[in-house]
Structure 1
């Protein structure tokens, strides 16, 4: 319960990595604010389940992070933000010369610009509280590249750069900013793609995992949302007080190649 009394705002956190991070922060004692662009009963039910399971305060706030004012309002509505986890993201795959302009704009807005807006609002709160942690969920694609993912890779490289800049701007304060760079993580979204990919390539699902999805991940194992969440908890701990403006890869050796 090392984070008891702290409030964590996690963007894009009603499923996948964001939810995994939120649960691990709650396990460590933090009160959590969940977020996505929907406003369903299920979203609020997730917050109630976390509160009941971990004995913390948890609530859900709807915000469309493609819009600057809603990204900023999310942190304002949270009321406190000791820990900010910028996780929200979308993806689209296409060659540069065929990449739809609206998809580029949406990916840059949600994957990169929203982190700027939430950070700009959170920093004064952290300074007033005398403590803060910003954890940006980048990607192995924040450190390397693949074809046909120009917007995503540009955004994730931008997240790494933003993390370095904020880390430098807060270096003399009890505030840190870092980026976690996961490789392939076994989320419901990834799991759902496996059967269709198996049919497409006439492979078994295990072959798809090993030869297609995990082709560039030397461990040939998925990272888990709990591992990414545990890394976020570490970055919020006293042990990580002098870790700032850098990246931590959770990618099974991908970026070591």
Structure 2
């Protein structure tokens, strides 16, 4: 299975998991829009991936919480490449507090990026997929789509919500050949996770080493972080899978931290 000449949009793709998914798609021959908050970052990653080939990449400025920005970004991709075959809604942030201390503005900010972003990008891409009679939408969930952890009420709520949204898209999109899936990684050593380590240590009153070994990796079978490459392979599987057999499904990638 490959993505030869498929048009893909990956949000939050200038770095981290999103950039690695975009790289995997370009390696598979896709045309990939690197959608990110800052145009310069998106263009830098796109240039690097295009030079790598065999596929192509372009940078697209996109604030996923703005309907106007999302629609403009998707329109730019469609004008350049004629449609959208794959959407990976990957943009996200993490904010940790105990629920009783969680600032409402932070709650709304996190849910807006994760849930509004998934909704707005899906809404903008679906007409093009429906017109083509095929498409794949992939949401970046988490083990926290299945499981809860202290301090992460907003994140857990958002990631659970993506499961429901993907299932609705799977039901509505089936007659148009559109499928939807959720990838649920465990802890991936990205800047987002690195930022959490001292924050959780301070909130819980434990050392950073304990956060890593007990909180983050304590439930794994091998004390290993999930890698960005692990996640990218699953993103490729869902994007390139040739039938509706997997639509509506989620897949946990967590070194055994959570098993279904």
d(CA) in 1 for partners of 2:151, 2:201 = 21
Structure 1 stretches (4+) deviating beyond 6 angstroms?
195-200
Q: Where do residues 99-248 of structure 1 align in structure 2 (5 Å cutoff)? A: 99-191=102-194, 201=206, 209-239=212-242, 241-248=244-251
Root mean square deviation, CA, Å: 2.3
Contact 1:67 1:109 in 2 (8 A): no
Give the direction of change, closer, same or farther, for the CA distance of 1:105–1:124 in structure 2 (3 Å limit).
Answer: same
Superposition deviation, residue 240 in structure 1: 5.2
Distance apart, 1:177 and its partner CA: 0.3
- Any idea what the Cα deviations from partners look like across 1:136-186, whole Å, max 9, x if unmatched? 111110111112211111111111110011011122332210001111112
1:34 and 2:34 correspond: yes
After TM superposition, the score normalised by the length of structure 1 is: 0.90
C-alpha contact (below 8 Å) 2:29/2:56 kept by paired residues: no
**Match of 2:47, SS?**
helix
SS at match of 1:70: helix
> What residue is the counterpart of 1:56 in the other structure?
55
SS at match of 1:156: helix
Contact 2:62 2:69 in 1 (8 A): yes
- What is the alpha-carbon distance in structure 1 between the residues aligned to residue 147 and residue 214 of structure 2? 19
Structure 2: gaps spanning 5 or more residues:
none
Q: TM-score, structure 2 length as denominator?
A: 0.89
Gaps of 5+ in 1: none
Secondary structure class of the residue paired with 1:64? coil
Per-residue CA distance 1:37-88 (angstroms, 9 max, x = gap): 1233x43121111011023221111111222322232222211211000001
